[in-house]
Structure 1
Amino acid sequence: MATVDTSTLASLGLTSATKAASTTGSSAGAIGQADFLTLMTVQLKNQDPLKPLDSQQFLGQLAQFSTVQGIEQMQAAMGSMASVMESDQTLRAAALVGHDAMVAASSVTLAPGAPLDGEITATSAGPVTLEITDANGNTVRTLSATAATSGALAFHWDGLTDAGAAATGGTYTIKAVAGATAASRAASATALDVGLIAHVDSVSIESSGLTLNLAGVGGFPLSSIRRVS
């Protein structure tokens, strides 16, 4: 692209305006569309008739400016839409306070002797074994139940160990497998899905998203909720 003699611009009283446009563009990190149009007009007015400027380059760059501007406007619109959706989701989540919710989780932090309710998804009718282990992998309590058919099977842990004492506070893992023998609880056994049920005390807005605070079992992301009653 041909350049313009600054002395020519000065004689037309355009030097200061050009500098202002340049300063504005540099402060924003790049030349603006309005500044580009000003420079384009000045160069077209002062071009050498024997060496005319390439108008296609100007039009190509102008199209690029328009594209970038359109993308920025679209990003701003998407940001506004995301904010509205987040606010709507927060209001919907707040309506869950006071209800019982089931979350898809197999690990939970409990207070000493705290009870726990939940559901096992049985794959077929028959006996099911529920094994509760502490953070060290030690079996604290083993429960047995019988599924009449495939589907949801409720369970309740009273917070006691197999010895009848209150379990200490800490993190516990709940594993359910089909069968009622020791072999069915082997590492190679297929685990059944487990859901935990608790009362929704409150809803927190975290950087990672909305979190439902369940009584006695802690906070869980909204995405982990499987049922509300």
Structure 2
Amino acid sequence: MTTIGNATDALSQYSVAPTTRKKELGQADFLRLMTEQLKNQDPLKPLEGTQMLGQLAQFSTVQGIQGMQGALGAVANVMESDQTLRAASLVGHDALVDTDTVQLQAGTGMNGEIVATSAGSINVEIVDAAGQVIDRVPVDAPGAGNVAWGWDGKTADGRTAPAGTYTIRATTGTGASAQALSTRIAAHIDSVSIEASGLVLNLAGIGPRPLSSVRRIG
């Protein structure tokens, strides 16, 4: 007598592996459906040619969109690769960015620009992390626009400024008419990161900054 277990084993030899169903309709599937639709249409209400053409046009449109998406994806990959190569060439240069704070090593100076609103004298103050003004740099603006400035890394009494975080305050005018001005600092590009938002420059003493904040690279 054959046991149930043996019968099960015997039947398992003839089991058919499940077929994998396609999740998307191809062109052949669509044409097959169109053929079946024509075969089974109501004789009293046959499918009009315009309806068939409309369905074909819709299918062609979907195929075209899928092809376009693939092409755009390929273009995006090429652009990303090109962006990576361009980013690598930025490492080692200096970038001028909109900021008023920088972390410096002992005795390290800095340079940058002041955005002047008009001609006249500009007072640039170097402020340490404790809020103390350690030096002042006078700048003369010939007119409205970007005015270069620099600091030698020494305090007002000639001592070497210690390592730390420094803030630059630029003002024009005196008293109640004093006006704060925008400042820019030049920093060395240590590396470049490619984020979802775009290129990010890792600047010495400043940290990561998006490429959109860079005013000049040189």
TM-score (norm 1): 0.68
**Cα gap change, 1:162 to 1:64, in 2 (>3 Å):** farther
Query: Structure 2: how far apart are the matches of 1:178 and 1:56?
Result: 75
Give the superposition deviation at 1:143: 2.8
> 1:137-177 CA deviation, whole Å, 9 max, x = no partner?
x464563423241233222345667797856745x554423
Query: Structure 2: how far apart are the matches of 1:205 and 1:50?
Result: 63
**Cα gap change, 1:59 to 1:168, in 2 (>3 Å):** same
Aligned pair 1:97/2:91, yes or no?
A: yes
Determine the structure 1 residue equivalent to 2:73: 79
Determine the structure 2 residue equivalent to 1:205: 194
Determine the structure 2 residue equivalent to 1:178: 172
**Cα gap change, 1:168 to 1:98, in 2 (>3 Å):** closer
Query: Structure 2: how far apart are the matches of 1:43 and 1:71?
Result: 25
The one-letter amino acid paired with 2:103 is L
Determine the structure 2 residue equivalent to 1:37: 31
Determine the structure 2 residue equivalent to 1:147: 140
Query: Structure 1: how far apart are the matches of 2:59 and 2:89?
Result: 46
Q: Is the 8 A contact 1:124 1:147 kept in 2?
A: no
> 1:87-135 CA deviation, whole Å, 9 max, x = no partner?
22221222122222212x2243515656432111223321112345678
**Alignment match of 1:127 (pick from 121, 135, 143):** 121
Determine the structure 2 residue equivalent to 1:13: none
Q: What SS does structure 2 have at the residue aligned with 1:97?
A: coil
Q: What SS does structure 2 have at the residue aligned with 1:82?
A: helix
Q: Is the 8 A contact 2:114 2:149 kept in 1?
A: yes
Query: Structure 2: how far apart are the matches of 1:82 and 1:133?
Result: 45
Aligned pair 1:50/2:44, yes or no?
A: yes
Query: Structure 2: how far apart are the matches of 1:148 and 1:227?
Result: 20
TM-score (norm 2): 0.71
Q: Is the 8 A contact 2:116 2:141 kept in 1?
A: no
Q: Is the 8 A contact 1:102 1:118 kept in 2?
A: yes
Determine the structure 2 residue equivalent to 1:117: 111
Give the superposition deviation at 1:35: 1.9
> 1:20-66 CA deviation, whole Å, 9 max, x = no partner?
9xx53xx24xx444322211112213434333234433322221222
Q: Is the 8 A contact 1:97 1:200 kept in 2?
A: yes
Query: Structure 1: how far apart are the matches of 2:65 and 2:111?
Result: 50
Q: Is the 8 A contact 1:101 1:200 kept in 2?
A: yes
**Alignment match of 2:150 (pick from 153, 156, 179):** 156
Q: Is the 8 A contact 2:104 2:205 kept in 1?
A: yes
Q: What SS does structure 2 have at the residue aligned with 1:53?
A: coil
Structure 1 residue ranges without an equivalent (≥5): 1-19
Determine the structure 2 residue equivalent to 1:64: 58
Structure 2 residue ranges without an equivalent (≥5): 1-18
**Alignment match of 2:183 (pick from 194, 198, 212):** 194
Query: Structure 2: how far apart are the matches of 1:69 and 1:140?
Result: 67
Query: Structure 2: how far apart are the matches of 1:199 and 1:178?
Result: 28
The one-letter amino acid paired with 2:115 is T
**Cα gap change, 1:83 to 1:66, in 2 (>3 Å):** same
Number of aligned residue pairs? 197
